[in-house]
Amino acid sequence: MIFVHKFTDTSSLSGHNEHIGISIVSINRDTFEQAYNLYWKELYLTCLRYLEDEEQAKEIVQEVFKSIWEKREEIEIKTTLKNYLFGVTKMKIFEFYRVSTVREKYTEYSKNENQQLHFTTENEVIYKELLGNVNKLIERLPTRCQEIFKLSREEGLSNKAISSLLLISEKAVEKNMTKALASLRQGISFFL
């Protein structure tokens, strides 16, 4: 049984002042095609704005719709379909950045493998201890501060990208990063 609830959404889509949004509990072929036709271009343009790569933007939007179709029996949407689609798209963009960053780091590591420093056993122990303490300090940060720090330092995202992903201002990102770095400096000073 398919439950489809229609409502008026006053946001703009392709120059229309109003359009019908759909909140659904399960998805059939007609609902899926309607969603694809309504939102594909807008999702593509959003991806293109973040990725600046037409092929990658198309691929991500295709992945979004493919995953929704494959999981249509399990998905329960508790917001508008448009909001749900944009949320999934933002997560796919984030995932793309994360994978790209890991791939770049691995490539860089592979190129420099022969040039890397070889730690003595003592230095290696000290390094691992310091790294463990830094990770503990990161875990003690407030949740939002920790999330922003990890997106910046571990995932390599810019303040603007983090701001867009978390739907907060760039000032809020900067404030949280400053707080995180100050806390880490203070905590690390004990070990140095």
Mean pLDDT of the chain: 77
Give the tens place of pLDDT for each residue, 124-136. 777 788 788 888 8
Do 13 and 50 belong together in one domain?
yes
| Total number of domains constituting the chain | 2
Query: Any idea what the CATH number is for the domain that residue 41 is in?
Result: 1.10.1740.10
CATH of the domain at 182: 1.10.10.10
| Residues above pLDDT 70, as percent of the chain | 77
Same domain, 151 and 85: no
On whether both 91 and 128 belong to a single domain, the answer is: no
Query: Nearest-CA neighbor of 81 among 94, 64, 56, 100?
Result: 64
Give yes or no for residue 123 having a pLDDT over 80.
no
pLDDT value of position 71: 85
Residues 27 and 93 in one domain: yes
Based on the fold, state whether residues 64 and 146 are members of the same structural domain: no
Residue 129 lies in a domain: yes
Tens-digit pLDDT profile for residues 35-93 = 899 999 999 999 999 888 899 999 999 999 998 888 888 877 778 888 889 988 998 88
Residue 191 clears pLDDT 70, i.e. is over it? no
User: Is the pLDDT confidence value at 185 over 50?
Assistant: yes
Same structural domain, 93 and 12: yes
DSSP code per residue over the chain: ---EEEEEE-S-BTTBS-EEEEEESS--HHHHHHHHHHHHHHHHHHHHHHH--HHHHHHHHHHHHHHHHHTTTT----S-HHHHHHHHHHHHHHHHHHHHHHHHHHHHHHHTGGGS----HHHHHHHHHHHHHHHHHHHHS-HHHHHHHIIIIIS---HHHHHHHHT--HHHHHHHHHHHHHHHHHHHHTT-
What is the number of other CB atoms lying within 10 angstroms of the CB of residue 47? 24
Per-residue pLDDT at 107: 72
What is the domain range of residue 55? 4-99
In the prediction, which pLDDT does 187 show?
79
Q: Is the pLDDT of residue 4 over 70?
A: no
